[in-house]
Structure 1
Amino acid sequence: MSAYEVVDAHYVEEHIGKMPLVDVRPTLRFDTGHIPTAVNIRLDVAQMTDDAGAELAEMFQDHGIGQHDAAIVYCQCGPHAKMACELLAGQGYDQLRLYQGSMDDWVKDPARPVETAGESFVK
């Protein structure tokens, strides 16, 4: 069994506000538009260190997300979120959900809400 579960947009919609949602994209992309309630924990920052997995785990812990806490991870189109899940799995994280379609999939439905730098709207 994988250390993370792959989920779809319906799952994300059902868990907004009930489970931490982590956007691993750079801040500019996050500020331009993200799924409501998401926090920005940048994978690129973690990758600048000697131990990206340990750095990313520390960043998650700084946001109150521990090794056995469920959280949904996404990026722009999936690969970086998957990389983040794999790095965190190596640090003992075992309850992550990978939103494989990520933002590209999320914005395909204009009824889904998107937040930008402090504002929430439906596209």
Structure 2
Amino acid sequence: MSQPAALITTEQLAAMLGDPNLRLYDCTTYLEPAPEGSAVPYRAVPGDKTFAAGHIPGADFLDLQGEFSDTSLQHFFMMPDVAQLEASFGRHGLDAGKTIVLYSIGTVMWATRFWWMLHSLGVEARVLDGGLDKWKEEGRPVVTGAPKGYPATTFKAAPRPGCFVDKEAVLAKIGDPATVIVNALGPQFHRGLEPSRYGRPGRVPGSVNVPAATLVNADKTLTNLADAQAKFAAQGVTREKNVILYCGGGISATIDLLLLTQLGYDKLTLYDASMGEWARDPALPIETD
């Protein structure tokens, strides 16, 4: 099996720099500890400062929580309505007719989150395998300063239904033999062996565990498709089943989603609020080892 078509290598991107059809975006967010006594699990801080300190030439910056999430809701990173996304992506010159490349710093999950959002809107993008970390490690060019942006466009979405689900949909599928619910958090959190910053420790009952971290190599590239297939198959994740992915805040699970999509799975959805909602709602069942 080859690497996913939704990925682009640093070599491929380097050859494209300066191409007028390229639309390149840094998607980085940082999660910082919340103030003591806060009702939220962390503070979401945009990566604009690290962008200004060094980014790939020509890149623009996308602020996930500040501009591309529904901030009226109590959970971070919730998918906003289509009209908000069309306006926001249009302001940043994102054009489905162009080559769209997404990257992030430290972890690929911020880029894969935007990839899944765009996928849900009917637009295909590519994620830089290894992100800015690999790019810099290879000595490739970076520039400093604020984003210059791209000319604004009129962005029109063609939404794909079913890419996101809520807690009621997840609750209804617990125990359904045609559905497998997959937790992308680490095994210690899946099993409820450590305190959770999201609330009650544990998992959605009956869910299996394919941690996003096990799908990423030491150099921050994603694992190959054969390895990913083996990891999902070991947990009973098959193409015939409806697959619901979740994590802490609907971010790291998009790593699983990218690989599953490239493996040919097409019955995929993301529980957007994930454990940030589930663990804090005492009316919802939770399971531990």
The answer, yes or no, to whether TM exceeds 0.5 is yes
Q: Name 1:31's counterpart in structure 2.
A: 191
CA RMSD of superposed structures (Å): 2.1
1:100 maps onto 2:269 in alignment:
no
Query: 8 Å contact 1:3–1:93 — kept in the other structure?
Result: no
Moved more, 24-33 or 62-71: 62-71
CA positional deviation for 1:92: 1.0
- Whole-Å Cα distance in 2 between the matches of residues 5 and 101 of structure 1? 13
Amino acid at match of 1:52: T
Percent identity (aligned): 29
- Whole-Å Cα distance in 1 between the matches of residues 257 and 189 of structure 2? 19
Q: Name 2:255's counterpart in structure 1.
A: 83
Note closer, same or farther for the CA distance 1:42–1:4 as it changes in structure 2 (3 Å cut): farther
The runs of at least 4 aligned residues of structure 1 exceeding 3 Å deviation read: 1-4
Q: What is the correspondence of 1:20-59 to structure 2 with a 5 Å cutoff? A: 20-32=180-192, 33-48=202-217, 51-52=222-223, 54=225, 55-59=227-231
CA positional deviation for 1:7: 0.6
Q: So what's the TM-score if we normalise by structure 1? A: 0.83
Q: Name 1:8's counterpart in structure 2.
A: 166
CA positional deviation for 1:69: 2.4
Considering Cα pairs closer than 8 Å and 6+ residues apart, tell me whether 1 or 2 has the greater RCO. 1
- Whole-Å Cα distance in 2 between the matches of residues 27 and 46 of structure 1? 13
SS of 2:254's equivalent in the other structure is helix
Q: Deviations over 1:17-47 (max 9, x none)?
A: 1121111111111111111001111211121
1:17 to 175, 179, 183: 175
State how many pairs are aligned.
Answer: 117
Amino acid at match of 2:206: T
Q: So what's the TM-score if we normalise by structure 2? A: 0.38
CA positional deviation for 1:53: 5.4
Amino acid at match of 1:35: V
| Structure of greater Rg | 2
Q: Deviations over 1:55-89 (max 9, x none)?
A: 23221122232234211111111101122112211
SS of 2:189's equivalent in the other structure is helix
- Whole-Å Cα distance in 2 between the matches of residues 34 and 88 of structure 1? 21
Higher helix share: 1
Note closer, same or farther for the CA distance 1:86–1:71 as it changes in structure 2 (3 Å cut): same
Amino acid at match of 1:23: N
